[in-house]
Every structure is written in C-alpha cells, then in structure tokens.
Structure 1
C-alpha cells in the first residue's frame, strides 16, 4: 500500500517504510525526528512543477499529468519503491515543501 502525508504529522507505526520525496529537507525537523527511512530527492517534481498552485483544479490537473510524465523516466526509482512496498507492506511518501503533491493518487 502506498500512502502520502505531510512530514510534520506525527510518525505512526502504520506508516510503514517512510520515504521523503522533497528536494529539500523539512524546516526545523531532523531526519531522525521525522523517522525518515529513505530520502529520494530524485523522485520529487522539478522545481517548476513543485511551485504550481494547488487551489486551482485546472492547474493541478496539468501538474499531475506533467509529474506523471516525469515519473515515467525514473523506472529504477519506481522499481525501488515497488520492491520496498512488496517487502515492507506499506510505504508512506513524506512531503514538506511540495504543496500540490498531497493530492496525487498513486
């Protein structure tokens, strides 16, 4: 199972394996405090996509399409995530700065 949550939410056991998917780390929170198991900067949307407004549905749909296109080029990372999901059961993606990412469906 894949989940997504804001890194500032308290870690829970049901989060399983926790992967930070932002290019930059969370402000005022260490990886240890956030219980980050893996930091995959490379899976984050490009900076241009990460700044898109999340309150505009039309823009979000375009963001989602472009981000999925970017992910198609990252097969090795996707395989790593899927293999981790098979091994651990649950993988939770953590984000801090990418506002639009929280609405993606995986």
Structure 2
C-alpha cells in the first residue's frame, strides 16, 4: 500500500518505509528529522516539468499527463517502488509540496495503482 505525506509532517510508525520522491532536498529539514529510508529522486518529475507546473492548480491535469509520460519512459525507479510495495506493508511517498492534493506524490500514487505490473 502506498500513501502520500508531506515530508515536513512528523514521522509516524504507521508510515512504514519512507521514500522522498522530490528531486530537491526539502528546505530547512535535516536528515535526522526527516527520517527518510530512501531518497528516490529519479522518480520525481524532471526539473523542466517541475518548473513549468510550479504547483499551479489550473495546470494540474496537464502536469499529471506529462508526469505519467515521464514515468512511462523511466520504468526503473517505478519498478523499484513497486518492489518496495511488495516487501513492505506500507510505503509512504514523501513530498515537500504545501498542497496535499496537487503534487507529484498524488500523481505517482495513482500511477502505481493503475500500473501495478
């Protein structure tokens, strides 16, 4: 099972295996405080796509399509997440975005649900 959580929220036992899925390290957060098990920046949106989207709600649908295409073209990191999902009861996808519903973690979670392989 995959869940999405802000990396700035306090870690919890229920988080299971914690994976940061951002290309950039979250500002002002130490590694000790973040309690991240894996930083998988290769699964994050490209720098160009991230800058284009800039977390603007009207662009979210187009962002989702473009990010899905990037995930299709880069199966290695996605497969790594799938394997983690098979070996851990819960995998928490951590994002630095402020908006809990319009971010790459939500898109990635949906992608993993639709493409379980």
Q: Per the shorter chain, which TM-score range?
A: 0.7 to 0.9
More helix by share: 2
Q: Which consecutive segments of 4 or more residues in structure 1 shift more than 3 A? A: none
8 Å CA contact 1:15–1:92 kept in 2: the answer is yes
- Separation of aligned partners in 1, 2:12 and 2:98: 21
Partner residue in 2 for 1:31: 31
8 Å CA contact 2:6–2:98 kept in 1: the answer is no
- Separation of aligned partners in 1, 2:105 and 2:7: 11
Normalised by the length of structure 2, the TM-score is 0.79
- Separation of aligned partners in 2, 1:26 and 1:73: 26
Matched residue SS, 2:19: strand
Normalised by the length of structure 1, the TM-score is 0.87
Matched, 1:44 2:47: no
Where does structure 2 lack aligned partners over 5 or more consecutive residues?
A: 111-117
Matched residue count: 104
Where does structure 1 lack aligned partners over 5 or more consecutive residues?
A: none
